[in-house]
Structure 1
């Protein structure tokens, strides 16, 4: 279990708050935050905001949590990564994930099945690009290179740009135990969602058993400070209700599955039912206080400091704080985590 943690800043999707977070990122860098992370779903992309912030900073690590596999071919993602890694002086941490069938098939028009197999192929191709030892080839069924058939003129190629680093750190966004095991065995880090510091370690112990020394578990945690703990808890419930009820199909929602494994299955299914019926306020209220309090850090700062001890005892090695923009709170959280 981790005893020392790094602290990073999770900005999520650009445009969610409609503003430029440069001032927050600069404050985080000045305060010694380890990294800043951006995300994508089906709106803004992850790489453009990260490049924007990278151009305005000099030290802070730059992470995607996560870039979606189906948004780009493996070679295209590898090109994005090697370019940003060069321009930032080797600061990139590439987080990737498969997303879910609603987004993969409904937004990207790509097939969803066999996500673990697709992820392995994807990682192999990206690492071939960065090593630049030979022309890139792949005989896998998902991303064959060169493409069979077609014009019949495809040939293996090496990137014309020499990567700054032959191995850019790759993190996997993973929720299911098999996908977490893949992260531990094939990636440099894991980006979990909805991590319960008391219950999740036992659920993922076997999956993480093969993780090498230095493996980084970088977990996004929503922080809602305030003197009214009940009000802060209600604020923290809103994104949980959205992911339980809205970020997945009624028949197949991988986020909901996480809450089932955590022991909140009945409550999660009720939240989903209310959300899909358009009763979103009721769905938010139906998220159990116990669940929101475990997954998030809410209330007065002394209470947050006390709750941090559970995270410190967990396998989480980098705490990515989300929802905080003001410098005094960023400073207070830094002091609590790095203390």
Structure 2
């Protein structure tokens, strides 16, 4: 946690206060076989990490008696932070973790929530924010699916193929967490089909198994005008931070698209 606080506080100073701290637990394959540390207890580690970072960002001496971290030497960061409170957004999936996100953080970075359930999910999170004694107006939620502007049929086809490949990979090759998330959201059959297709025919077959309706629910590809409409739908559901990709190589056209998206 202290190393994370050092990194983010340094970048916040260099960027003159533009940093948003993003934190997620990943999964056992990455944490244990790439970083070389035990994955569990991930839930408790996330809470304690956030609490420790907040202490260090504030400039207070670090005296912390947690279950995982017992830090009693009173260390501080060796520089004055640009801001005493850096916004911390958490990427969480299951309801228990999302409720903790509402309690201890400043924003939520969800993934794999279908568009037709987004408002329901956000309303629940905002209820948890209120239960924690906070104002939902001060809590930021990012839309869970990306929006890709593609103004030609060829670009749209490439974007949808990439989207299908990503969904298939998350279904079949990213452990159980994303599979469970898709199942909670009503897409267990589609996730099972992608897993079977990958096993029998590889990534290409798995991507081809993803239905078009599923692609539109978990992301969006369209013209500039269609993407503006999708962003408005996300905003109406309560998501005020968006992930947008623009498939345009001409700088002048790119700038025009950005202006249209800004509204």
Smaller-chain TM-score range?
0.7 to 0.9
Q: Is the 8 A contact 1:178 1:207 kept in 2?
A: no
Taking the aligned partners of 1:324 and 1:187, their CA distance within structure 2 comes to: 33
Aligned residue runs from structure 1 range 59-78, under 5 A: 74-78=1-5
More relative contact order in 1 or in 2 (CA 8 Å, sep 6+)?
A: 1
Distance of aligned partners of 1:107 and 1:164 in 2 relative to their CA distance in 1, 3 Å threshold: same
How many Å apart are 1:302 and its aligned residue?
Answer: 3.2
Partner residue in 2 for 1:205: 123
Q: What SS is found at the alignment partner of 2:63?
A: coil
2:82 to 148, 164, 168: 164
Instruction: State the Cα deviation string for residues 63-120 of structure 1 (Å, max 9, x = none).
Output: xxxxxxxxxxx00000001111111111111111111111111211222223222111
Partner residue in 2 for 1:139: 65
Partner residue in 2 for 1:298: 221
Structure 1 residue 274 corresponds to structure 2 residue 192: no
Structure 1 residue 179 corresponds to structure 2 residue 105: no
Q: Is the 8 A contact 2:150 2:248 kept in 1?
A: no
Q: Which moved more, 1:192-201 or 1:256-265?
A: 192-201
Taking the aligned partners of 1:159 and 1:242, their CA distance within structure 2 comes to: 40
Q: Is the 8 A contact 1:324 1:330 kept in 2?
A: no
Q: Which moved more, 1:299-308 or 1:168-177?
A: 299-308
Q: Is the 8 A contact 1:173 1:191 kept in 2?
A: yes
Structure 1 residue 236 corresponds to structure 2 residue 152: no
- What is the root-mean-square deviation in Å for CA atoms of aligned residues? 2.2
Give 5+ residue unaligned stretches, structure 2. Answer: 130-134
Instruction: State the Cα deviation string for residues 149-190 of structure 1 (Å, max 9, x = none).
Output: xxxxxx331222111111111110112222222221111111
TM-score, with structure 1 as normaliser: 0.68
How many Å apart are 1:210 and its aligned residue?
Answer: 2.9
Taking the aligned partners of 2:34 and 2:217, their CA distance within structure 1 comes to: 32
How many Å apart are 1:230 and its aligned residue?
Answer: 5.6
Give 5+ residue unaligned stretches, structure 1. Answer: 1-73, 147-154
Q: Is the 8 A contact 1:226 1:232 kept in 2?
A: no
Partner residue in 1 for 2:21: 94
TM-score, with structure 2 as normaliser: 0.86
Aligned residue runs from structure 1 range 1-339, under 5 A: 74-134=1-61, 136-146=62-72, 155-211=73-129, 212=135, 213-219=137-143, 221-223=146-148, 225-228=150-153, 232-248=159-175, 253-277=176-200, 279-322=202-245, 324=247, 326=249, 327=251, 328-329=253-254, 331-336=256-261, 338-339=262-263
The count of corresponding residues between Structure 1 and Structure 2 is: 252
Distance of aligned partners of 1:171 and 1:80 in 2 relative to their CA distance in 1, 3 Å threshold: same
